[in-house]
Each structure stands twice: as C-alpha cells, then as structure tokens.
Structure 1
Amino acid sequence: MNTLPTILVLVRHGETDWNACGRLQGHTDISLNAHGHAQAERLAEGLARRGERFDVLYSSDLSRARATAAPLGQALGLPVIEEPALRERHFGVLQGLTLAEAAEHHPAAYAGYRQRRVDAVPEGGESLERFCARVSEVLTRLAVRHVGGRILVVAHGGVLEMAYRLAVGIPLSAPRDFALPNAALNRFCFSNGTWKVENWADISHLEGDAFDELA
C-alpha cells in the first residue's frame, strides 16, 4: 500500500572552532563559534522568509546542534526535540585530534579511518558500518512516526553523509566527493520505504559563506 511521502530537511550544525582547524569532533561536546551562531541565525531567517513550515523539529543532543536548532525553533514556533541517536559518529581515541595528530599518535585507528574500512572500530568508538546503521534507523523511525509530514532535523556532517549515501546508493568505502557545508539545507523525500534526495547543500541563505572539509 502506498503511503503519503514524508519530507525531511537535514541541516548540519553551524561552524565550530574544531571544524575550522580540522579536529575530529565526534561525541565531544564542542560549542559553535561566533561564525556558527551567525550561520544559525541566517538559516532561521532564511527559512522564515521562504515561509517554510514544518510539523516538528529534532536535534542531536550535542550543544553545537542544539545551538543551531534554537533559533530555528524560535523562528518556526516549534519546540526542539533532542534525539541522541542523531549524534555524530563516535571516533573513540581519534576525537579531539587533527588528522596529522591522529596519524602520529594512533596510526592503526587512523589507517582504518582514512582507508574507510567499514568494520574498523577506533578504540572506544564506533565503526562506519555501525554508524550508518544507526543513522538509517533513526531517520527511518522519524519518517515513519511523522508519515506524510514535514520534519526538520539538525545533526552533524557524518549523519548527513550517511543519509546521502543511503539515498543515492554510494558505498561507505567510497571517498566522499559531495559537499557537506555547515548550516546548509538538504531535502529528502521518504516514500514506501525509500529515500530520495530532492535538494542538496543549499546555502543560498548564507550568501555562500559555509565551511566544508572538502574545500
């Protein structure tokens, strides 16, 4: 039986100092920097100008996501519902390190990360395979819970990457070749158990000012 399509708009949190200097954040609770707060405000203003309406607003429970979601909730008149399953991947011993520091201090874990070995688990952390399964479960659960509705979700770059790969069919082991800018809008449609990307990496509300590690 066909079901009504559910629209899900995913947002990566605004910029942090660790984004800017290339440190792996993972579950470490890093705050937005001044630029990240400004991005969150512009995002909220942009959605309000467009007259966008959503039924519900979810956020990762980490502070950089919550601080990005707060002005969205105010602009849209929605409470922010925290969902821990929307957290970034847990990088274990690599958290807080730049890639150069990771290579020096934890070469085995770094090799698994750089080679995108899907079953490699950094000590104390989460494999890429397990992380992807977590993202798939939580996004599908939210879409089914709000079938036919419009959902706004604030999460992390890794969460958005997994969602895009799942929708487009890109293997986890393949290098990332698509953008993941901070505070961008990324629109998905969920229908009959299938995800489809409708619009990706929209930063028009930011006037082109958004960080992405690929750059």
Structure 2
Amino acid sequence: MKVILVRHAETEWNSRGIIQGREDSALTKHGQCQTAALLQAFAENGYEAESVYASPLGRTWNMGQVLAKHFRCSLVAEATLKEQAFGQLEGMSAEQFKKNHQDEANALFELDAEYCPPGGESLTQASRRIIDFLINLEKSGHYNAVCIVSHGHVSQGVLAILCDGNIDQFARYAHPNASYSVFDIKNGRCETIRWGIATHLRHLKC
C-alpha cells in the first residue's frame, strides 16, 4: 500500500510560534497558497489516492477536504491521526516555554520521545497509534494507495520509526507545513520512503 503523508498548511498559531496540539487555529493566507502549491505538485507528479484519511482537527480536516476533492475520492475522519497531545502547554508560546523550561523544551522538541508534557502524551505514544493505524489499514487490503493528513510533530516521530526502526532521531525528520512524504507499506513493513518533500513551497510569493 502506497501512503502519501501530508502535513496541514500554515495556521495562525504556526505563524506566531504557539503550541497547538489538540487546539486549533485558522489557516493563514500563506497557508492557502501552500495548499494550492501542494495540489499543483500532486497534479504534476501524477499522484493518486483511493481515499483520504484526515485528523478531525480543523486545520487537517480542511486539507483533507481539498485533497479528497483533488483525488476525487472519499474523506474519512480518523481520530488516531491527531497531533501529539501537549496538555497544559497548548496555547503557550514555544519560545516562552523554551525560555522558562529549557530542559523540558529540549526533551519535547529535540531529545526525548518519552517525555510527556503535563496533561498530555509522549511522542512515542502518539507516533505508535498512527503506525498501528497504518499497519492495520494495509492489512485490511482495501487500498493500493491512500493519502493521510496529519500534523508536524507526530509526523516526525512516525517518520523516524519508519526510516530508522526507532524514534530516537525524531528531531531530524522535519515535516514543514504542506510538505509530504511518500512510502510503501508491505506486510507491515515500510519500504521506499521519501520524506519531508517541500520543493513545491520554495518560490511562493504569498
């Protein structure tokens, strides 16, 4: 099963450096331009999908609707694709969190996938639920190709597991807004992965 993993486009909180997690904010104008560029890239590269599964949070659901229309396929809300829950950190400035809690911020964003924010979940927990979803979807045998719309931080964890077999180096798997990764899952194992593709975003003028 071929998987196209897409991160949602830029939101107001992304542009202001605010931790979103399970909270939400509207797309920016730049985010709308990113979405248009992504659709053009998919059309030019001939990507196809038989179904789009999206996190039900507003920013991902919006992208899911656009992609389902582009691929002319069904759109399914899937709660397991939500972002890592950041608990009490949601709505907080990432810069302020780093300033006041440097060790915890380093653990969360760069070093320790087992770190659990107060009232939230660890990156390992969040990534594992998405990996399990993908494996079960492949086992069902329903699709040859699907598009998955999820979030930035949890996508880093997922990609680390798929590429390395463990989550330790998650920080290196950057997944910018409206970027995508493409990989194949066969018999529960990942093959032929390209991650963090963002060349379509290089020359945006808005």
- Give the TM interval when normalised to the shorter protein: 0.7 to 0.9
1:194 is the counterpart of 2:184: no
Return 82-91 or 118-127, whichever deviates more: 118-127
| 1:62 paired residue among 35, 54, 57 | 57
Q: Alignment partner for residue 206 of structure 1, among 197, 201, 205?
A: 201
CA distance in 1, matches of 2:103, 2:179: 33
* Alignment pair present for 1:39 and 2:34: yes
- Distance in 1 between residues matched to 2:46 and 2:115, nearest whole Å: 44
- What's 1:53 paired with? 48
Larger helix percent = 2
| Match among 143, 154, 159 for residue 149 of structure 2 | 154
Unaligned runs of 5+ residues in structure 1 are 1-5, 211-215
User: Which letter maps to 1:121?
Assistant: C
Q: CA RMSD in A?
A: 2.5
* Match of residue 11 from structure 2: 16
| Separation in 1, partners of 2:136, 2:203 | 33
Q: Residue 176 of structure 1: SS of its match in structure 2?
A: helix
Q: Unaligned 5+ residue runs, structure 2?
A: none
Gap change, CA 1:185 and 1:115, over 3 Å in 2? closer
Work out whether 1:74 is the aligned partner of 2:69.
Answer: yes
Q: Aligned AA for 2:43?
A: A
Task: Give % identity.
Answer: 27
> Residues of 1 paired with 2:184 and 2:150: CA distance?
17
The CA distance in 2 between the partners of 1:208 and 1:134, in whole Å, is: 35
Of 147-156 and 42-51, deviating more is 42-51
1:164 aligned residue (159, 165, 170): 159
TM-score normalised by structure 1 residue count: 0.83
TM-score normalised by length of structure 2: 0.86
